[in-house]
Amino acid sequence: MAFGADQVSEHHRKIDQVYTEVAKVVVGQDYMVNRLLIGLFTNGHILLEGVPGLAKTLTISTVARVLHLDFQRIQFTPDLLPSDLVGTMIYNQREGKFEVKKGPIFANIILADEINRSPAKVQSALLEAMQEKTVTIGETTFKLDKPFLVMATQNPVENEGTYPLPEAQVDRFMMKVSVSYPTKDQELEIMRRISNMQFDFTVNAVLTKEDIFAIREEVNKVKISESLEKYIIELVSASRNAKEYKLDHEAQYIQFGASPRASINLNLACKAAAYLEGRDYVLPEDIKEVAPDVMNHRIILNYEAEADNVKTTDIIKAILNKVPIGK
């Protein structure tokens, strides 16, 4: 270990144990777990997108159970109100006064299940809490507990009865992770597990609040060279000024490039990725690994891209191929 500290070694042992515990319940979603841990260790919210049945909800709830943290699952529906999320004022007849009844958002980990099924007011209430880390009920403002992490899921298949998140609000998520289908072998294992009525979904809690805060400090100490810092800026800049980087073909499809949150979160995510690999320094590969998830919801494409079936991932791949390290 490059860190050379017993405490850090113990933290890495516990992180390995997190994967082991989650694997007791969820098959073949190490990539998703990795992204959730990156969010947890960098104080970044995660949005998972995938078709139904890919264990998005199960993975998040299982990760939450492996942590010694308060967890709340909120099923987003079209009739959900902001007060159902943050809480409200109720009248106490015995005391003759109004009292605050806190909502489920007052927890450490929030699972916002199918976030795109609720109208804009509810989404805004959640996203404001994500940004400000506070909630106002009546005339009183409450600070949310630390750590506070929102892990949201959305279904890209159905459009009817959904309210897509505005681009500016999606930007508040550190990463938007696309969840893919399992392999044939993994699906066979899933089928066998679920068909066994005696299957045990019990997992052991591994990480405590103190562990998470300590790991965050260790991630913050991961070194990134000045040339790699500039490389991050070049990647983000290429999404805004594609022609300057000789990406003429891609430039015609980009309406808006990535916001400054992209460079901030790329820096944080690549440090966490390096840490999870057991290193105290960032490699270019760390940046390239997290770039698609950090940038894919921050680059806005135009109608021509939709007509030509060009995806944001195609643009990011071209940027990563074209922009040199240490330019």
Q: Is residue 129 included in any domain, yes or no? A: yes
Residues 117 and 174 reside in one and the same domain = yes
β-pair partners for 72: 110
Model pTM? 0.89
Residues 119 and 227 reside in one and the same domain = no
The predicted pLDDT at position 2 comes to 47
The predicted pLDDT at position 326 comes to 67
Q: How far apart are CA 236 and CA 204, in angstroms?
A: 40
Residues 285 and 189 reside in one and the same domain = no
Q: How many domains does the chain have?
A: 2
45: tokens are 């919210």
Q: Is residue 1 included in any domain, yes or no? A: no
Q: How far apart are CA 246 and CA 242, in angstroms?
A: 7
Q: Is residue 232 included in any domain, yes or no? A: yes
Residue 180 DSSP SS3 = coil
Residue 30 DSSP SS3 = helix
Looking only at the bridges linking them, the beta strands covering 87-92 and 97-102 are: antiparallel
**Which parts of the chain register pLDDT below 50?**
1-3
Encode pLDDT of 264-291 as tens digits. Answer: 999 999 999 999 998 989 999 999 999 9
DSSP 278: T
Q: Is residue 156 included in any domain, yes or no? A: yes
By the 10 Å C-beta count (0-12 exposed, 13-18 middle, 19+ buried), 176 is classed as buried
Per the CB < 8 A criterion, the answer to whether 220 and 269 are in contact is no
The predicted pLDDT at position 159 comes to 61
β-pair partners for 74: 112
The predicted pLDDT at position 1 comes to 44
Which amino acid makes up residue 55?
Answer: A
Domain boundary among 152, 179, 211: 211
Domain span holding position 281:
222-322
Q: What is the CATH number of the domain that holds 130?
A: 3.40.50.300
Q: How far apart are CA 94 and CA 99, in angstroms?
A: 11
Nearest Cα residue to 73 out of 55, 63, 60:
60
The predicted pLDDT at position 215 comes to 92
Domain boundary among 176, 211, 246: 211
Q: Is residue 87 included in any domain, yes or no? A: yes
The predicted pLDDT at position 61 comes to 85
The predicted pLDDT at position 52 comes to 79
